[in-house]
Amino acid sequence: MGLHSSLHKIRTPWMERISRELASGEHVRAGFTEQLARFYELLEQTLVTGDTAWLDPILYDWGRSPTETNLEQGDYYVSFVVNRMIVLTIEIAREHLPKKDALELIAAVIPILTHSLSVVVRYEMETRVAHISNELGKVQDKLKLLDRNKSNFISVAAHELKTPLTLIEGYASMMTDQVVGTEQDLMKNYLSGVSTGIQRLRQIIDDMIDVSLIDNDLLTLNVQPLWISHLLTLIQNEFRKTITDRKQTMVIHTFEGSDLMIYGDVERLYQAINNVVSNAVKYTPDHGTITINGRLLPGFIEITVKDTGIGISPENQSLIFDKFGQLGKTDLHSSGKTKFKGGGPGLGLSITRGILEAHGGTIWVESPGYDEVKLPGSTFHILLPTRTEPTDPVMTKFFGQFEQPKTETEPSGKENPPTNNPAA
């Protein structure tokens, strides 16, 4: 008996057996039987010609046919069907054909079915990858919308809060000026407390506005010459009282590059470094040490802020640079900004990263881990490019250095050189 005759002989039991075992429900079985009949005809054609391309159209249809439910549940139904089809073909051939004819048919058909399985698996995986990519795209769109709404809320809330805050600040100031009599000192103490609260609230609002500017790429920088050593001196003076009150020690080393003149936004860079130092002071217990050092690298100045504080666990070392990235239980934080584990909105390091990236720099942290007993400490690394010209290409990108418009006397195709005025 030839291969074609053997294949024709087992067609009916093959169709019935596979349809009965792999299809569920009469409506499913009817459609499935039609597909099996089509597949079997193409299988016969492939066996005659030796060209597996005959099966490609139906394999493509099968591989692209998983339902939304199959895709969501991770079912690989089609590849399972073809794989089971191989096993059942061997069983049916042995049951309905003489041993020799069964072996010849199995030897000829199984490689074709195995090839079909590999093709179906490939198509099925491509379909699944496309589905997952589409779902990820939807999730990313939702996250972008959520982030945009959050940024809009921060921006609107911060700007709306500034007006009533200014009114409260003004009236508190006038009340302080009007206090007279025996209760003068007491009332001034009360108003001083109100003023402190106002200043703290204003700092939070300003941080919210800065975050909104960074999120929307609206942060503008006032470029001018600066020296890192000058910024660090200002930082030392700023924290002198806090360091004394906390009985901490702040050590600032002179390092190569600290006296190099570079270009950047003095106020913003001071704000960025101040946030990092404030973070070090906050998470270092009393009597601890904060050490500021640095070095000159090719094209960059690296500033390090090292503390002897409670440290940061590895899994949280990237989270602290996210908006509202606070570690631990916020209800256990103290209320003071520079007290041990003092509270805050969790925006400082996010703003710092935004400012440094706007300058073409970056920031990261290293810490052995978190331990409030052993105090492993943390080291923040600030990397700033050594821009020695305000018209440097990177400075032009971030600081708004635009080329002047062409004049009538200029040859076509040439442009004015960029201005040296950073405010241009």
Asked whether residue 353 is domain-assigned, the answer is yes
The verdict on 318 and 246 lying in the same domain is yes
Spell out the residues 6+ positions from residue 251 whose beta carbon is closer than 8 angstroms to its own. 289, 290, 291, 292
- Highest mean pLDDT, choosing among 19-28, 70-79, 330-339, 390-399: 19-28
The verdict on 31 and 110 lying in the same domain is yes
The verdict on 207 and 118 lying in the same domain is no
pTM of the model: 0.56
Domain closes at, from 77, 109, 142 = 142
Q: For 263-308, how does the pLDDT look when each residue is reduced to its tens digit (9 = 90+)?
A: 999 999 999 999 999 999 999 999 999 999 999 999 999 999 999 9
CA distance 324 to 144: 17
Q: 359, 266 in Cβ contact below 8 A? A: no
The verdict on 288 and 312 lying in the same domain is yes
Asked whether residue 424 is domain-assigned, the answer is no
The verdict on 181 and 272 lying in the same domain is no
Give the domain range for residue 187.
163-215
Share of the chain above pLDDT 70, in %: 81
The verdict on 365 and 233 lying in the same domain is yes
Look at 210-214, 259-263, 282-286, 318-322 and tell me which has the smallest mean pLDDT. 210-214
Q: What is the CATH number of the domain that holds 245?
A: 3.30.565.10
Count structural domains, the chain.
3
CA distance 21 to 17: 6
User: If we measure between CA atoms, which residue out of 244, 260, 217 comes closest to residue 358?
Assistant: 217
Asked whether residue 403 is domain-assigned, the answer is no
Q: 301, 285 in Cβ contact below 8 A? A: no
pLDDT at 360: 93
Spell out the residues 6+ positions from residue 298 whose beta carbon is closer than 8 angstroms to its own. none
The verdict on 184 and 296 lying in the same domain is no
The verdict on 262 and 356 lying in the same domain is yes
Examine the pLDDT at 145 and tell me if it is beyond 60: yes
Supply 279's token pair.
Answer: 């973070």
User: Does an H or E element contain 78, and which?
Assistant: helix 77-96
Asked whether residue 299 is domain-assigned, the answer is yes
Q: For 247-260, how does the pLDDT look when each residue is reduced to its tens digit (9 = 90+)?
A: 999 999 999 999 99
Calculate mean pLDDT across residues 160-169.
Answer: 81
The verdict on 127 and 174 lying in the same domain is no
Q: 309, 285 in Cβ contact below 8 A? A: yes
